[in-house]
Amino acid sequence: MSMPTPSQTYDAIVIGGGIAGASIIKSLKNNNLSNFLAIDSGELPAQGTSGHDGALCHPYIGRGASRLQRLSMIAFNEAKQIWANYWSGGGVLHLARNVENHDKNLMSERLLSQGFSFEKAKVISADEAKALCGVSLAGTFFPEGGWVDLKQICENAFSLLTQQQALMSCTVTKIAYRDKYWIVYDKQQKIIGVTPRLFLASGLGVKSLAASTQIDLPLKPVRGQLSTFSYKKESSWARRQPTVAISGKAYCLPPIEMNDGSYQWMVGSSYDEHEEDLSVWAQSHQENLNLIWEMLGKECDLAEIEPVDAFVGIRCVASDRLPIMGPVKGYPGLYILTALGSRGVMWSALAHQMFTEHLAEEIRHSAFLDDRFFAGARLTGLGLSEDLVSSLLPARFLAGASNSKPILPSG
């Protein structure tokens, strides 16, 4: 093994140039840590799952106050502030599961019991939705909801780095811990850098890097395709256009009018577990189209709309469907941020705030706090309790590490 040079020694190394890596870079900077290295295998940042500009964001609503629901309320609040400069849209209409038997009072009571206020989550009838959202479909309207340009966040984060802080076109193949330092290796088994603080933020790539240091994480790939459809202004689709983003079995953004008078419409996203094929599938376009047709009304003519573009990405999903974030118990200075699933906007914002607070606490104490993820006063005030934090930590999957039990998927 060749010895690292002083110029290869960093205060922190971040592996991954997607939204997870970008949010960690922001946390390092918030703590005035500038001697860090951000590494990505792509020539540019956001060449993976974060390479799209239409990531929808609204709090999750389920039947009860599950951990996912409680976490998503806090994380949504963070996302609105932290990604404010990349936010678009004037609300999201989340369609009722059963639009025919939509009971406004019952739903309003349920939302209130889950901690929502009438201003932040309005249960609306089909008539109210027509006026507010352009479509006659009952549901819950989140006035603060919208969509985020993930790609732009990552590009901007990397454009602010110095040459010494960013290393592109470099694939990390192995990590190892020796003498209180993490060592990061490239494909040729050469040392890229050494650091007391290592952040694994490489999406599904975290699985093999963690495995190289005997950490087994239950991560799986879920392929997703976001379709862009086109239709003419005289088509039946143009008569049922949403004016806000809509979510349900599928989601869509408001269609954009093109120079030639036609419309382009982003609709997503297919969900294929254990698939990693990045090519565009005609079958996924068809799935997206069928779902949006079912959602928005079956009067529209399927022959009047066609796919013109697509984004394909591989989501990284943990077996309990919650993100994995925080320090790794028993591995001082090792942190993970992955398994953002279909909620990269929210979970990256929550992680950013938590890592900012956690690093500040570690720096204050000159010690690694691998037993807990320090949430800070603001998030605690918003309801981030001990059980919620435990449900995020990598330790929930580590043999022998005491932690709260993994929870079952709730949505």
Q: Which residues bind ligand FAD (CB under 6 A)?
A: 15-21, 39-42, 47-50, 55-57, 150, 171-172, 201-203, 205, 224-226, 268-269, 311, 313, 315-316, 338, 340-345
Closest CA to 337 of 100, 17, 59, 118: 17
How far apart (Å, rounded) are the C-alpha atoms in residues 22 and 48? 13
Nearest distance from C-beta of residue 229 to ligand FAD, angstroms: 14
Whole-number minimum distance, CB 320 to ligand FAD, in Å? 16
- Three-state secondary structure call for residue 386: helix
Strands 256-257 and 181-185: unpaired
Residue ranges with strand state E in 213-287: 219-231, 245-247, 251-252, 256-257, 263-268, 272-273
Provide the minimum distance between the beta carbon of 196 and ligand FAD in the complex, in angstroms, as a whole number.
Answer: 20
Q: Dump the DSSP string for 114-183.
A: TT--TTTSEEE-HHHHHHHHSS---EEEETT-EEE-HHHHHHHHHHTS-TTTEE-S----EEEEETTEEE
Q: Which is nearer to ligand FAD, 102 or 185 (CB)?
A: 185
Q: Is 168 exposed, middle or buried (0-12, 13-18, 19+ CB in 10 A)?
A: middle
Smaller CB separation from ligand FAD, 112 or 160: 160
Tokens of 319: 């077996």
Token pair 């549901």 is found at 139
| Closer residue to ligand FAD in complex, CB, 165/171 | 171
Among the listed residues 249, 240, 234, 229, the one whose alpha carbon sits nearest the alpha carbon of residue 298: 240
Tokens of 106: 């019952």
Q: How far is the CB of 74 from ligand FAD (least distance, A)?
A: 15
User: How near is the Cβ of 312 to ligand FAD at its closest, in Å?
Assistant: 7
Tell me the one-letter amino acid at 362.
E
Please state the closest distance from residue 181 (CB atom) to ligand FAD, in A. 19
User: Cβ of residue 44: shortest distance to ligand FAD, in angstroms?
Assistant: 9
Instruction: Tell me if 266 sits within 8 A of 288, measured CB to CB.
Output: no
Residue with nearest beta carbon to ligand FAD:
18
Nearer to ligand FAD, 77 or 269 (CB): 269
State how far the Cα of 205 lies from the Cα of 227, in Å rounded to an integer: 25
CB closer to ligand FAD, 141 vs 311: 311
Angle at 352 between CA 351 and CA 357, to 5 degrees: 95
CB 341 within 8 A of CB 310: no
Nearest CB to ligand FAD, comparing residues 224 and 248: 224
Residue 310 or residue 389: which is nearer to ligand FAD going by CB? 310
Whether 46 contacts 170, CB under 8 Å: no
**Residue 69 or 202 with smaller CB distance to ligand FAD:** 202
> Is the CB of 56 or the CB of 61 nearer to ligand FAD?
56
Residue 260 CB, nearest approach to ligand FAD (Å): 27
Cβ 271 vs Cβ 225: under 8 Å = no
Q: Which CB sits closer to ligand FAD, 24 or 111? A: 24
Min dist CB 42 to ligand FAD, Å, is 4
Query: Does residue 409 contact residue 339 with C-beta atoms inside 8 Å?
Result: no
| Least Å from the CB of residue 27 to ligand FAD | 14
